[in-house]
Structure 1
Amino acid sequence: MLLDTTVDSNQSSVDEFSNGVNPTIAAALTIVRICLTVCGLVTNTVTGVVLTNRKLWSPTSMLLLSLVAYDAVFLLASIPPCLMDVTKNAEAFAILLGVCYPLRYMAQTGSIYTTVTVTIERCLIVIRPLRARSFCTFGKTRKVILGVFLFSLIFNIPRCFFYKLFTQAMVSNNSNFAGNSTWLHAFSANQSSNVIPELSNTSDQSGFSNHSSQPVSNQNADWAYYAWLYLRVYELYVSSAFFYFLPYTLILILNMQLLLAIKKRRKETRRISVKNEHQVNYTKPTDLEDGLTLIVLGITVCFFFCCLTPAIYNVTQIAEVSNTELSQHLLTASDTMLCINASMDFFFYCLLGRKFRNIFLHLFCRRPYLRSTYSMSSSHCKAGHSISETLYHSV
Structure 2
Amino acid sequence: MKPKTKLIHQGRGDQNAEVRSVNPTLMRASTILFKDHATWQKYKELRKSERVLSYGARGTATNFELEKLICELEGGYRAQLFPTGLAALAMVLLNYASKNAHFLITDAIYGPVRTICDKFLKKMGIEVDFLKADASDVEEKIKTNTKLILCESPGSILYEIIDLPKLCKIAHSHNIPVAIDNTYSSGYFLNPLKLGVDISVIAATKYLSGHSDVTMGIVICNQKEWQNFNELPEDFGFTTSPDDVYLVLRGMRTLDIRMKAHEKSADEIVEFLKTRKEIKTIFYPKLKSHPNHEIFIRDHKGSNGMITIEFNDKYNQNDAITFVDCLKYFSIGASWGGYESLATVTTPPRTVSDWSHRGPFVRFHIGLEDTKDLIADLEQAFEKIKK
Structure with bigger gyration radius = 1
Per the TM superposition, whether the score is higher than 0.5 is: no
TM-score range, shorter chain: under 0.3
Give the structure with the higher percent helix. 1
Structure with the bigger RCO (C-alpha within 8 Å, sep 6+) is: 1
| Structure 1 length-normalised TM | 0.23
